[in-house]
């Protein structure tokens, strides 16, 4: 069966204190998510350390992402993407508080 949708439909974060995470597609070892941020950041001292790899595209908005071992955070703008291999410790330092920051995250099991 064919499925379809629109990446921007159903965004509900207005007035919400947290990020919105929506699973768009999932198969064994593979998952696509939409994340919508409105000024959120990782808690102090918190690092993501995921067992799967992640390819992420910033679709709209702006964010700063710090990868462990790098001296400064990377500023991401609409259209920027990066790959985070499994166990690449990283944290979101900042997302734009005055607009929706929409991420498209592809999680994959590494061979």
Structural domain for 100, as ranges: 76-111
pLDDT of residue 111: 75
Asked if the structure places residue 92 within a domain, the reply is yes
- Is 27 part of any domain? no
Is 107 a domain residue?
A: yes
Asked, for residue 20, whether it belongs to a domain, the answer is no
Query: Is 102 within the bounds of a domain?
Result: yes
Contacts of 75 (CB under 8 A, 6+ apart): 62, 63, 64
pTM: 0.90
Return the pLDDT at 99.
92
99 in any annotated domain = yes
Whether residue 41 is contained in a domain is answered as no
pLDDT at 14: 60
- SS3 state of residue 92: strand
Residues of the chain with pLDDT under 70: 13-17
Query: How many structural domains are present in the chain?
Result: 1
Q: What pLDDT is stored for residue 13 in this prediction? A: 61
> In this structure, is residue 90 part of a structural domain?
yes
Q: What integer pLDDT is reported at residue 87 of this predicted model?
A: 97
């Amino acid at each position: 069966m064919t499925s379809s949708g629109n990446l921007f439909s159903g965004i509900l974060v207005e007035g919400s204190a947290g990020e919105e995470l929506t699973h768009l597609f999932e198969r064994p070892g593979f998952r696509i998510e939409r994340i919508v941020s409105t000024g959120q950041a990782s808690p102090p001292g918190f690092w993501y350390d995921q067992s799967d790899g992640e390819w992420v595209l910033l679709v709209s908005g702006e964010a700063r992402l710090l990868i462990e071992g790098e001296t400064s955070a990377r500023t991401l703008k609409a259209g920027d993407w990066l790959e985070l291999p499994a166990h690449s410790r990283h944290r979101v330092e900042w997302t734009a508080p005055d607009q929706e920051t929409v991420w498209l995250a592809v999680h994959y099991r590494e061979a």
